[in-house]
């Protein structure tokens, strides 16, 4: 690679960052780090009508939570700043003018009413109106009148746009790192608007000018931008600039069907599609953070949406991803979003946390539930975490450590026979006599007592578990007994005898 690697994530702040946008940011981040390059963020807010004020902060907060913050952006190493297009507004006009002067662009004065009329006319003839080489010579453009007239109309404050003059009858042979060779017929393209008389460039012009000025080496972005690639390459050519390399990432598809995963799917299908929660007048959509996902798990499942390292490996740390990432291993086909698999990733990352970390997180949960306890939370967590996907599930898996069962599982209660109360009384007495009240010791002594008195294991163990837990679930019974202690064990046995 000759040029230093400089890649960018260039979101438009029109709402919360969708998980697909996060994946684009991640792949840019991984590529930059892999090649010792720079990952920067540029805010593309030229379309002021779609601008949402909170969206910009949201983008930075989300990437920070995920641990993939940019090396350069607004307020950080502003080597090529400003990094917000609205703050670069004054820069673009000269480039639009340059294209006019070199004949690569022209002024168009057509009113929106006129264009609507042409669209409707085409529609009634079963056609689609395209503003291109077939009409540009006949419409109200600078291609048909003298320079003086154009200048005086502009001086008079007439509204205009500047359009790209797409070449006719040319096949563009382009290359995409993921898709390979892609060809485009220029005659089929429309003459896109590059600049408007309100002084604002459109996405296309601003994007190309900035990618050039900010020395972008690779453009890694979603597949929905592939149709813009020919225009972008032609713009580089028109300016006489070297184009960056392109890589268009596959779409992220809905869990069922073949549609593209949309911002609304999360609320509709009941899983997050945003990294962080997002609130509007209509309500709040939960993010992965609020749903209890570890950022590392989110990074991991996003990395596998369209990429793999060629092996069966599924769990990758961020550092490992950086080491193994390769744009050539990204596939073209859409990647199905699987919310169940995402939970599995979180499960794996939960198991990786130390008990101390999980205990801290669980304590915060207990606090919100108003539970105060003298139990060793780290121990509780170590006993039940194996079955948890989320920290929020730890309570349901361990509530019996903190509280005596309020009810007993009906099916399990069928094991409570006529002789059970008497047996349980005896068990309670045996336990009462145990000095060293530790799991292993309790187990040895209770089992010794059962053997000596020829009492079957099942007769004791199941009713005992039912008394302590309220159901036939949970970890090793003697670990539970040690945890809750002698007095609590006895009191729960007594309660069960009374209730069952
Ligand atoms: N502003 C565009 C977006 O919202 C950026 C597309 C590109 O990366 O060129 O996705």
CB 278 within 8 A of CB 15: yes
Name residue, tokens 């139990």: 375
Q: Judge if the beta carbon of residue 221 lies within 6 A of ligand 1.
A: yes
Confidence at residue 37, expressed as pLDDT on a 0 to 100 scale? 98
Upstream peptide bond of 82 is cis (omega within 30 degrees of 0):
yes
pLDDT at 6 over 90: yes
pTM for this predicted structure: 0.93
Residue 267 — very low, low, confident or very high, per pLDDT cuts 50/70/90? confident
Confidence at residue 130, expressed as pLDDT on a 0 to 100 scale? 97
The per-residue pLDDT for range 213-227, each reduced to its tens digit, is: 999 999 999 999 999
* 432-438-439-445 Cα dihedral, nearest 10 degrees: -50
pLDDT at 399 over 60: yes
Q: Where are the domains of the chain?
A: 87-249, 263-350, 353-395, 412-499
pLDDT at 1 over 60: no
Task: Give the right CATH number for 412-499 from 1.10.10.350, 3.20.20.80, 3.40.1030.10, 1.10.3720.10.
Answer: 1.10.10.350
Confidence at residue 328, expressed as pLDDT on a 0 to 100 scale? 96
Q: Judge if the beta carbon of residue 10 lies within 6 A of ligand 1.
A: yes
Task: Give the Å distance between the CA of 85 and the centre of ligand 1.
Answer: 12
CA-based torsion, 128, 132, 134, 138: positive or negative = positive
Confidence at residue 269, expressed as pLDDT on a 0 to 100 scale? 82
336 catalytic residue (yes or no): no
Task: Give the Å distance between the CA of 12 and the centre of ligand 1.
Answer: 7
Q: Judge if the beta carbon of residue 44 lies within 6 A of ligand 1.
A: yes
The per-residue pLDDT for range 127-185, each reduced to its tens digit, is: 999 999 999 999 999 999 999 999 999 999 999 999 999 999 999 999 999 999 999 99
For range 415-425, the mean pLDDT: 95
Atom of ligand 1 nearest to the CA of 12: 4
pLDDT at 429 over 90: yes
Q: Judge if the beta carbon of residue 232 lies within 6 A of ligand 1.
A: no
Residue 270 — very low, low, confident or very high, per pLDDT cuts 50/70/90? confident
Q: Fold for domain 87-249? A: 3.90.800
Q: Fold for domain 263-350? A: 1.10.1160
Atom of ligand 1 nearest to the CA of 24: 8
Q: Fold for domain 353-395? A: Helicase, Ruva Protein; domain 3 (1.10.8)
The per-residue pLDDT for range 18-63, each reduced to its tens digit, is: 999 999 999 999 999 999 999 999 999 998 888 888 999 999 999 9
Name residue, tokens 């070297």: 242
For range 14-21, the mean pLDDT: 94
Beta bridge pairs of residue 253: 260, 336
Task: Give the Å distance between the CA of 460 and the centre of ligand 1.
Answer: 66
Residue 407 — very low, low, confident or very high, per pLDDT cuts 50/70/90? very high
pLDDT at 2 over 80: no
Residue closest via CA to ligand 1's atom 5 equals: 10
Confidence at residue 233, expressed as pLDDT on a 0 to 100 scale? 98
Q: Judge if the beta carbon of residue 11 lies within 6 A of ligand 1.
A: yes
Residue 65 — very low, low, confident or very high, per pLDDT cuts 50/70/90? very high
Percent of the chain at pLDDT exceeding 90: 94
The per-residue pLDDT for range 326-365, each reduced to its tens digit, is: 999 999 999 999 999 999 999 999 999 999 999 999 999 9
List 34, 76, 260, 263, catalytic entry = 263
pLDDT at 258 over 90: no
Mean pLDDT, the chain, integer: 96
Nearest to 184 by CA among 196, 173, 168, 176: 173
Name residue, tokens 């989300």: 62
3-state SS string for 424-469: HHHHHHHHHCCCCCCHHHHHHHHHHHHHHCCCCHHHHHHHHHHHHH
Task: Give the Å distance between the CA of 47 and the centre of ligand 1.
Answer: 12
Q: According to the annotation, is 260 in a ligand binding site?
A: no
Confidence at residue 273, expressed as pLDDT on a 0 to 100 scale? 94
CA-based torsion, 132, 247, 252, 58: positive or negative = negative
Atom of ligand 1 nearest to the CA of 220: 8
Confidence at residue 431, expressed as pLDDT on a 0 to 100 scale? 97
Nearest to 41 by CA among 14, 67, 80: 80
The per-residue pLDDT for range 361-388, each reduced to its tens digit, is: 999 999 999 999 999 999 999 999 999 9
Percent of the chain at pLDDT exceeding 70: 100
The per-residue pLDDT for range 190-220, each reduced to its tens digit, is: 999 999 989 999 999 999 999 999 999 999 9
Atom of ligand 1 nearest to the CA of 232: 9
Mutation choice for ligand 1 from 28, 203, 204, 251, CB with most ligand atoms inside 8 A: 203
The 8-class DSSP code of residue 176 comes to: E
Name residue, tokens 């999980």: 358
Query: Rounded to an integer, what distance in angstroms lies between the CA atom of residue 105 and that of residue 100?
Result: 5
Nearest to 252 by CA among 315, 303, 320, 322: 303
Confidence at residue 265, expressed as pLDDT on a 0 to 100 scale? 85
């Amino acid at each position: 690679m000759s040029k230093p690697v400089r890649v960018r994530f260039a979101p438009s702040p029109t709402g919360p960052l969708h998980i697909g946008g996060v994946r684009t940011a991640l792949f840019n981040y991984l590529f930059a780090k892999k090649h010792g390059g720079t990952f920067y963020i540029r805010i593309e807010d030229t379309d002021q009508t779609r601008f949402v004020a909170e969206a910009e902060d949201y983008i930075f907060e989300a990437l920070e939570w995920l641990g993939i913050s940019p090396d350069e952006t607004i307020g950080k190493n502003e080597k090529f700043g400003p990094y917000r297009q609205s703050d670069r507004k004054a820069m673009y006009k000269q480039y639009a003018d340059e294209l006019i002067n070199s004949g690569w662009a022209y002024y168009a004065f057509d009113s929106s009413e006129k264009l609507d009329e042409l669209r409707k006319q085409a529609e009634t003839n079963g056609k689609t109106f395209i503003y291109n080489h077939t009409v540009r010579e006949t419409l109200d453009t600078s291609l048909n009148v003298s320079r003086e007239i154009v200048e005086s109309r502009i001086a008079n404050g007439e509204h205009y746009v500047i359009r790209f003059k797409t070449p006719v009858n040319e096949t563009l042979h382009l290359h995409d790192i993921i898709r390979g060779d892609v060809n485009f017929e220029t005659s089929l393209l429309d003459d896109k608007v590059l600049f408007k008389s309100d002084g604002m460039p459109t996405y296309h012009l601003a994007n190309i000018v900035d990618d050039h000025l900010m020395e972008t080496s690779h453009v890694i972005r979603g597949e929905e931008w592939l149709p813009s690639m020919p225009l972008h390459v032609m713009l580089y050519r028109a300016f006489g600039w070297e184009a960056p390399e392109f890589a268009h990432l596959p779409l992220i598809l809905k869990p069922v069907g073949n549609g593209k995963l949309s911002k609304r799917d999360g609320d509709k299908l009941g899983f997050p599609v945003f990294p962080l929660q997002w609130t509007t007048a209509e309500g709040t959509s939960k993010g992965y953070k609020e749903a209890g996902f570890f950022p590392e798990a989110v990074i991991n499942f996003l990395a596998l949406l369209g990429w793999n390292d060629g092996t069966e490996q599924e769990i990758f740390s961020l550092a490992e991803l950086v080491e193994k990432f390769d744009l050539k291993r990204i596939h073209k086909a859409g990647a199905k979003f699987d919310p169940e698999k995402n939970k599995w990733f979180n499960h794996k990352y939960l198991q990786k946390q130390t008990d101390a970390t999980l205990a801290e997180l669980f304590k915060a949960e207990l606090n919100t539930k108003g539970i105060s306890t003298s139990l060793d939370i780290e121990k509780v967590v170590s006993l039940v975490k194996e079955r948890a996907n989320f920290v929020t599930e730890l309570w349901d898996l361990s509530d019996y450590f903190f509280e005596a069962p309020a009810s007993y599982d009906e099916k399990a209660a069928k094991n409570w026979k006529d002789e059970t109360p008497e047996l349980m009384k005896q068990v309670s007495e045996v336990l009462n006599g145990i000095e060293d009240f530790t799991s292993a010791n309790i187990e040895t002594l209770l089992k010794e007592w059962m053997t000596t008195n020829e009492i079957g294991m099942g007769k004791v163990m199941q009713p005992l578990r039912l008394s302590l837990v309220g159901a036939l679930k949970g970890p090793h019974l003697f670990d539970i007994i040690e945890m809750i202690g002698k007095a609590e064990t006895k009191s729960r046995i007594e309660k069960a005898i009374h209730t069952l």
